[in-house]
């Protein structure tokens, strides 16, 4: 909790500091005329919007302190929530500055915008950066994102880095706020260097070093169900990764046709000193190819990530709930979680009983460890936000009727986003505080 509080204070402080930079430059005194007011508001909007954009990049960089404090799922949720405010502020920055300059020079806004593009050498790059950011945010909207293949969406999303880079020159060359030799300029550059350094170190350098050191290769691919396979990986000194059941890695398999793609998959078995195992479902061309990987295929990785682990426990009991391929981290947690016989319930949710992946392994583990297993099959009621089948919903079944002692347990949920959200709401309605509810949603 101290780490989480510290990180939140740092985020708020960063926004406060950019406001302080504006005020220290005399910004509060520049609202005497309409032109000055528009220009000053535009400058402030640009400062805050850029700071939020940098915070978004940090949240997506999978920094260990952020991952330990909030987990990847919650960090990315905040990342997504900041997208629209950052875009609106940067759009406001452009519109207000153009309007303010136009009012000061007594010309129309179109003439002013053309003049900025043709007379200020760094301004065309700034407009390109804003256009790229608009593209990234629009394609991140759920209704738009679902029309894209993951690979295409991911490629577009990487343009956010380019949008940030091409906007830097005009920030330093236009206006006096960040002029040469000022503390504000050094602070602003330090922000960019810190964010860029974090991304390079934790997304590129460390993954390469760890991948080379541990030498992971595909040891075995075992078909679990049609389109579903468990991939066992072997390597050296894997205990140094300090991976635990429930965590995930971002994997890259160096095989023809898939080497250029990375895939986030959770561990589906407890890690050992020499092996890791994941279970994947063929949901597209890339994931389908993974189910036919050859023995000896080299693997690079980022991670481990996530706080969907037994270390997050706050109660003696545990309830593990999974839908579809979300059973992977649930199965690994079941293998290593600390509980006494009778203090654990596993709920596997599927359309049909045959869709319950890894059901045989889960059944065996429940038998060995004294956990109760419930396989709940059936389709959800149309037009109703429920995680249970239609007949169970009509009968008034809830998580509390399935597990009467749920308030004395931590609940772990993994599945598709809408389904997971419905389970979390049911758990909250049953009286569980947020600290006892842990979830991972597989969605991009």
10-residue block means of pLDDT along the chain (444 residues)? 72 87 81 89 92 89 83 80 89 93 90 88 88 80 59 70 86 82 89 92 93 96 89 96 94 88 91 95 69 92 92 94 94 96 94 83 96 93 89 93 96 93 95 93 65
Question: Under 8 Å CB-to-CB from 210, ≥6 apart: which residues?
Answer: 241, 301
42-77 burial string, b = 16+ CB within 10 Å, else e? Answer: bbbbbbbbbbbbbbbbbbbbbbeebbebbbbbbbbe
- Among residues 304, 300, 299, 302, the alpha carbon closest in space to that of 270 is found at 304
Report yes or no: 301 and 207 within 8 Å, Cβ to Cβ: yes
Pairing of strands 275-281, 409-415: unpaired
* pTM above threshold 0.75: yes
What is d(CA 278, CA 81) in angstroms, rounded to the nearest whole number?
Answer: 30
Question: Under 8 Å CB-to-CB from 168, ≥6 apart: which residues?
Answer: 192
Report yes or no: 330 and 346 within 8 Å, Cβ to Cβ: yes
Report yes or no: 412 and 333 within 8 Å, Cβ to Cβ: yes
> How far lies 271's CA from each of 216, 248, 277, 369, in Å?
13, 11, 7, 18
Chain center to CA of 197 = 19
Q: How many residues make up the chain in this entry?
A: 444
The single-letter DSSP state of residue 436 is: G
Question: Under 8 Å CB-to-CB from 359, ≥6 apart: which residues?
Answer: 348, 353, 375
pLDDT, position 237: 95
- Phi/psi zone of residue 322: left (φ > 0), alpha (ψ -120 to 50 degrees), beta? beta
What is d(CA 410, CA 399) in angstroms, rounded to the nearest whole number?
Answer: 12
What is d(CA 336, CA 347) in angstroms, rounded to the nearest whole number?
Answer: 17
């Amino acid at each position: 909790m101290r780490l989480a509080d510290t990180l939140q204070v740092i985020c708020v402080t960063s926004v406060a500091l950019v406001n302080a930079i504006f005020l220290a430059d005399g910004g509060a005194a520049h609202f005497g005329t309409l032109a000055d007011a528009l220009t000053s508001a535009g400058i402030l909007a640009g400062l805050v919007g850029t700071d939020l954009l940098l915070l978004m990049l940090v949240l997506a960089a999978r920094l260990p302190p952020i991952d330990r404090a909030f987990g990847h799922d919650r960090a990315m949720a905040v990342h997504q929530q900041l997208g629209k405010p950052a875009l609106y502020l940067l759009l406001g920055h452009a519109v207000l500055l153009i309007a303010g300059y136009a009012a000061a020079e007594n010309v129309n806004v179109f003439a002013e915008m053309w003049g900025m593009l043709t007379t200020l050498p760094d301004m065309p790059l700034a407009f390109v950066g804003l256009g790229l950011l608009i593209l990234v945010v629009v394609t991140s909207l759920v209704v738009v994102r679902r029309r894209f293949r993951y690979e295409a969406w991911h490629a577009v999303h990487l343009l956010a880095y380019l949008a940030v880079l091409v906007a830097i020159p005009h920030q330093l060359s236009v206006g006096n706020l960040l002029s040469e030799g000022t503390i504000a300029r050094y602070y602003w550059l330090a922000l960019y260097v810190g964010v860029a350094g974090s991304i390079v170190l934790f997304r590129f350098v460390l993954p390469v070093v760890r991948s080379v050191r541990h030498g992971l290769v595909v040891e075995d691919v075992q078909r679990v169900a049609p389109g579903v396979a468990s991939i066992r990986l072997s390597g050296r000194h894997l205990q140094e990764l300090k991976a635990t059941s429930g965590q995930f890695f971002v994997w890259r398999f160096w095989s023809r046709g898939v080497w250029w793609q990375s895939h986030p998959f959770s561990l589906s078995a407890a890690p050992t000193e020499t092996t890791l195992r994941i279970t994947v479902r063929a949901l597209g061309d890339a994931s389908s190819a993974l189910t036919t990987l050859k023995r000896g295929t080299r693997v690079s990785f980022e991670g481990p990530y996530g706080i969907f682990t037994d270390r997050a426990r706050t109660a003696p009991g545990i309830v593990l709930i999974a839908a579809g391929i979300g059973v992977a981290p649930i199965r690994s947690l079941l293998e290593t979680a600390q509980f006494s016989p009778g203090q654990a319930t596993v709920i596997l949710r599927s359309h049909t009983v045959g869709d319950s992946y890894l059901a045989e392994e889960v059944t065996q583990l429940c038998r060995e460890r004294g956990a109760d297993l419930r396989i709940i099959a059936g389709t959800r009621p149309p037009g109703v936000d429920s995680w249970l089948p239609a007949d169970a919903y009509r009968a008034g079944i809830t998580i509390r009727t399935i597990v009467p002692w749920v308030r004395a347990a931590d609940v772990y949920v993994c599945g598709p986003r809408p389904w997971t959200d419905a389970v979390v709401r049911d758990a909250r309605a049953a009286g569980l505080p947020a600290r006892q509810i842990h979830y991972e949603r597989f969605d991009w």
